[in-house]
Structure 1
């Protein structure tokens, strides 16, 4: 699947995805602010959960895991984009570029896995409230998280493995950072062949995790109908945080990953906007959603500001 173009030795890539942006510094500053606020909020969430033994429960361990995933996901590409926009440094070395691609895809896969496991946690808590803590212990939760991280690393490692075997004909990345489509387009190979190869895996992961979340909520709705009015209110409040987070993540991902495969053509600005929104939005929204809607965490925050 290689063309006749002469291959070159690439030691660094040139990022050109922001060349058409009118006010690059202003855009970079906005991304910087969102990135810093999102990381700080997630770190605070983690510290609250780690240092309060009362929060050492499966649900909070999963929230803590999601915060770690969010930090990884947004940190995989945000610093490179900020450096490109604010400092005007458009080059990135070959190996760091592959590491960035691995980290970005690991964050994307783990975000889906984390949301799917959290949906299962809510289903278990609502359908089996009395057996919940015997079914899902802290130890089992940590083992489940560890398994998903191993699976996520294996899946994310496939993409750099594909790229390293291909000769490069170009050194300019058309997109905003080192993601798989951008690097594939620098090779001497037919990009559609490699896009189609990986699209099957992406669709399976997307539909598996999103389908699992939907099935979990069908089960939750079934049990909610059998509950009293007070229990219904409590259950809906418990699940609303997760639904907000799921919507925030999956909407841009579905548009970018599925509609483009179905023939919808996105401009460079539209693609950049969707992909930036997918890894800046959830890490910013998630910690605030859980801080404001989880009474134990909200109580601790209020206590910090009112005790003095």
Structure 2
């Protein structure tokens, strides 16, 4: 028997199914990663530059955008480098780092959406108290809590996986996955299973429940107010609902990929299901909020308009 410290590398076997079109995959993934960085960075800059967006709601959104870039960076560089590898080996330290990075980022994503849902609930259901209570300082505290909470709850589960005795080093995915690494354990640990269950409850189930409760309350208030206020509330909440719905779809895909036997899912479909959230959510977030929120849309137009004028003046 050997533990993870005695293993020199892990093999990401899902890359063996890439075949001869690895160069096409490389170009597409590189363009997609660059697009994610540009789209999210543009919205971050717009929020930072436009003082009219220095509100708690947009501070929480900015935190979500930063996490999209951070989470993508934990996946794409290693994935791109693996496209040209023949053995698809990843050093243990890099594999653990990527695993910690990806799962912490996923937890931050869910918790950030929960914080944004609570912010919208407070704004719509308690508008008189919202301005005085939800200050930019309070929003900063919420952002700090989201990151500390996410880091803490996954760190406990992460420590158990790192110290478990492993009887193999082959992971059938394109990234270092916590669940598959736990399945390499030589013996099943009840404590580890309980900790993983608690992590799932605290990282995904609890934030999702908070989002559902918040929006149920919002809908109740919307149906009891004027048509104008109802439309304003729906316009503000629509991006959050789209984003959370996509997270739910992606999580369902991940569960299906890990539970359904290989006969029902082809290798390429299984890979797509496993990375759907990591690929689609970071790109959808800036477009969902950029197109659906009027203030963001107007600020983007002003920002891009100033850039066009600046470049035109420079060229002349």
Match of 2:144 in 1: 146
1:73–1:107 CA contact under 8 A, matched in 2: yes
3-state DSSP of counterpart to 1:175? coil
1:168–1:187 CA contact under 8 A, matched in 2: yes
3-state DSSP of counterpart to 2:242? helix
Q: Shift of residue 183 of structure 1?
A: 2.2
Unpaired segments of 5 or more residues in structure 1? Answer: none
1:102–1:159 CA contact under 8 A, matched in 2: no
Match of 2:97 in 1: 99
Q: Shift of residue 236 of structure 1?
A: 1.1
Match of 1:15 in 2: 12
Match of 1:280 in 2: 279
Query: 1:38-75: CA deviations, max 9, x gaps?
Result: 12211111122222222111001000010111112222
d(CA) in 2 for partners of 1:112 and 1:135?
23
1:230 alignment partner, one of 228, 231, 235: 228
Q: Shift of residue 87 of structure 1?
A: 5.3
1:14–1:171 CA contact under 8 A, matched in 2: yes
Match of 2:313 in 1: none
Match of 1:299 in 2: 298
Unpaired segments of 5 or more residues in structure 2? Answer: 310-316
> Is the deviation greater in 247-256 or in 113-122?
247-256
Query: 1:245-284: CA deviations, max 9, x gaps?
Result: 1111121213423x578x5446454442122111111110
Match of 2:153 in 1: 155
Q: Shift of residue 191 of structure 1?
A: 8.4
Give the CA RMSD over aligned residues. 2.4
Structure with a larger share of its residues in helix: 2
Could you list the runs of 4 or more consecutive aligned residues of structure 1 that deviate by over 4 angstroms after TM superposition? 5-8, 86-89, 191-197
3-state DSSP of counterpart to 2:175? coil
3-state DSSP of counterpart to 1:18? helix
3-state DSSP of counterpart to 2:174? coil
1:170–1:186 CA contact under 8 A, matched in 2: yes
Q: Shift of residue 192 of structure 1?
A: 9.4
If the length of structure 2 is used for normalisation, what is the TM-score? 0.87
Query: 1:148-187: CA deviations, max 9, x gaps?
Result: 2111111121233112212333232221111212322444
1:7–1:188 CA contact under 8 A, matched in 2: no
